[in-house]
């Protein structure tokens, strides 16, 4: 099994769309990240009525940081329709700020073809390149 399959399967295991309260839905999107230490962390989206929620990618990153890591090498997100999709702008920005090499994170764009793109290609001319170098 390749690493993308393993990541996809781990994210799929936690994806479980549900209503938590009249104000919060969770689990419609699931994400998995692979770290430089080859650990996989997962998370789900938490959508709130007041926009204080958290995307699945940032939830997975919080899990990673809680466990003492901070360098991501790969990321994927499974959308409610079961297909993978790119991270939103807030998640892209969060990942870019983690490490000077974040631009090299592989983002899975198509699970069937295993097409990837570098996070740096999704964030061209990033506003703080000089601060990390």
Please tell me the predicted confidence (pLDDT) of residue 121: 94
Residue 131 has pLDDT above 70, yes or no: no
Please tell me the predicted confidence (pLDDT) of residue 129: 59
Please tell me the predicted confidence (pLDDT) of residue 52: 87
Task: Determine the Cα–Cα distance for residues 65 and 78; give it in Å rounded to an integer.
Answer: 21
Please tell me the predicted confidence (pLDDT) of residue 15: 98
Nearest to 6 by CA among 41, 37, 36: 41
On whether the pTM is more than 0.85, the answer is: yes
Handedness of CA 52, 83, 41, 65 (dihedral sign): negative
Please tell me the predicted confidence (pLDDT) of residue 25: 96
Residue 34 has pLDDT above 70, yes or no: yes
pLDDT, the chain, mean: 94
| Residue for token pair 């807030």 | 90
Task: Determine the Cα–Cα distance for residues 53 and 47; give it in Å rounded to an integer.
Answer: 5
With a pLDDT cut of 90, the percent of the chain lying above it is 86
Q: Kindly list the structural domains of the chain, giving each domain's residue range(s) and its CATH number in brackets, ordered by start.
A: 3-132 (3.40.140.10)
38-78, pLDDT tens digit by residue? 999 999 999 999 988 999 999 999 999 999 999 999 999 99
């Amino acid at each position: 099994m390749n690493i993308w399959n393993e990541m996809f399967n781990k994210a799929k295991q936690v994806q479980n769309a549900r209503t938590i309260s009249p104000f919060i839905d969770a689990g419609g999107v699931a994400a998995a990240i692979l770290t430089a230490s080859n650990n996989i962390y997962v998370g789900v989206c938490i959508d709130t009525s007041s926009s204080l929620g958290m995307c699945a990618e940032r939830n997975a990153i919080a899990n990673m940081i809680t466990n003492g890591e901070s360098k991501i090498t790969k990321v994927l997100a499974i959308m409610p329709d079961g297909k993978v999709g790119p991270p939103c702008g807030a998640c892209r920005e969060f990942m870019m700020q983690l490490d000077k090499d974040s631009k090299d994170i592989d983002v899975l764009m198509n699970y069937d073809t295993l097409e990837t793109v570098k996070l740096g290609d999704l964030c061209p001319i990033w506003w703080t390149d000089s601060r990390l170098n």
